[in-house]
């Protein structure tokens, strides 16, 4: 059996064989030029993380690290069955949908005195207790409540076995981003975001990578961001960033795939087309980053220190901000715990 391909190698392997998703040279250049114009912006730094996570608690406490673990462990599958039936959570006068409903619900629970960031508590909490924490303002509940309960209690038990906090858990992998991802995936089954494509075992590790990137974002904001090998991380293959990549022209879907997505057909986790969308997204961002670094070197005579995680931190809110212009590009839908 050939060894598992890590996310970057998986992206390249898939992009070279893909039948329904294609990485487009012109769009890669366009994406790189767009990022080049923003190269001095805070949007392309680790501190841009806090901007994208306005509901994150005060970053000075270790509670913030546990908060990130709770949120990233349940960070999957927020899309509604019907656009008109969105799960909503209102916090301090603002009503949130999608991923932000989860953040708002966790902060609301903290305000209510529920120890939702304490692994001792969330490793043993009941389904009913989590249902109360994640309650919606309307009739539409947050999807996959049982799965969220299962992965959160599982994750809490793992933290309990490794010092009782996310900080003590992750410190066992040293300060290396690559080793952190491998450690998370090895110890917590729900983070094993893998599939088989053309006979090869491939990986995306979306939530494991975003957990490490969020940890890095917090540590950088504190002035403690001494984490090496951040360049090992890729973008976090989900359903929102691929839409932005199609919009920018860096990705192109075949007519057959466009028809399937426009018909609202659900793709199962591990379906060839779903794997191609995620894998080609990873590879498109890698090529955009390579091109961006070339531009910085050629035009500025400098070394580019913008990594793929930071590019993802920019593209995800970019997709949200431009959702009206992107409305004609269908988002693929897959119900799973991986993204």
- φ, ψ of residue 80 to 5 degrees: the values are -85, 155
Q: Which helix (H) or strand (E) holds 129?
A: helix 127-133
66, 115 Cβ separation under 8 angstroms: no
User: CA separation (Å) from 251 to 18, 23, 106, 278?
Assistant: 12, 5, 35, 11
Output DSSP code: residue 239.
S
Please give the span between the terminal C-alpha atoms of the chain, in angstroms, as a whole number: 27
Q: In whole angstroms, what is the distance from residue 220 CA to residue 44 CA? A: 13
Kindly report the CA angle at 8 between 7 and 10, in degrees rounded to 5?
60
Active site residue 255: no
Enumerate residues 6+ apart whose C-beta is below 8 A from 305: none
User: CA separation (Å) from 119 to 151, 166, 261, 332?
Assistant: 12, 9, 39, 33
What is the sign of the dihedral through the CA atoms of 84, 85, 91 and 92? positive
Query: Could you say which of 72, 193, 214, 238 is catalytic?
Result: 238
Largest CA distance in the chain: 58
251, 330 Cβ separation under 8 angstroms: no
Kindly report the CA angle at 100 between 94 and 105, in degrees rounded to 5?
75
Which residues are annotated as catalytic?
Answer: 238
């Amino acid at each position: 059996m050939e060894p598992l391909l890590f996310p970057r190698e998986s992206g390249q392997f898939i992009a070279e064989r893909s039948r329904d998703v294609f990485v487009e040279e012109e769009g890669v250049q366009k994406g790189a030029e767009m990022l080049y114009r923003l190269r001095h912006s805070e949007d392309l730094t680790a501190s841009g993380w806090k901007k994208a996570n306005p509901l994150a608690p005060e970053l000075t406490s270790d509670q913030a690290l546990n908060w990130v673990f709770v949120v990233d462990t349940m960070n999957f599958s927020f899309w509604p069955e019907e656009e008109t039936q969105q799960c909503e959570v209102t916090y301090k006068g603002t009503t949130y949908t999608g991923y932000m409903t989860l953040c708002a619900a966790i902060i609301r629970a903290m305000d209510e005195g529920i120890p939702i960031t304490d692994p001792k508590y969330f490793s043993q909490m009941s389904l009913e207790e989590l249902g109360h924490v994640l309650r919606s303002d309307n009739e539409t509940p947050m999807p996959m409540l049982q799965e969220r309960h299962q992965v959160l209690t599982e994750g809490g038990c793992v933290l309990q076995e490794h010092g009782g906090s996310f900080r003590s858990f992750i410190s066992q992998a040293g300060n290396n981003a690559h080793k952190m991802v491998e450690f998370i995936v090895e110890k917590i089954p729900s983070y094993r975001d893998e599939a088989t494509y053309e006979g090869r075992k491939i990986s995306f590790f979306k939530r494991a990578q975003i957990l490490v990137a969020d940890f890095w974002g917090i540590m950088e904001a504190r002035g403690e961001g001494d984490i090496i090998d951040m360049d090992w991380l890729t973008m976090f293959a989900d359903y929102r960033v691929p839409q932005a990549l199609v919009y920018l022209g860096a990705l192109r879907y075949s007519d057959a795939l466009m028809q399937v997505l426009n018909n609202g057909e659900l793709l199962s986790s591990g379906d060839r087309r779903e794997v191609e969308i995620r894998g080609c997204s990873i590879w498109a961002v890698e090529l955009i980053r390579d091109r961006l670094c070339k531009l910085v070197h050629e035009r500025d005579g400098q070394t580019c220190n913008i990594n793929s995680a930071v590019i993802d931190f920019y593209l995800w809110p970019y997709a949200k901000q431009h959702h009206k212009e992107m409305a004609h590009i269908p988002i693929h839908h897959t119900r799973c715990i991986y993204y």
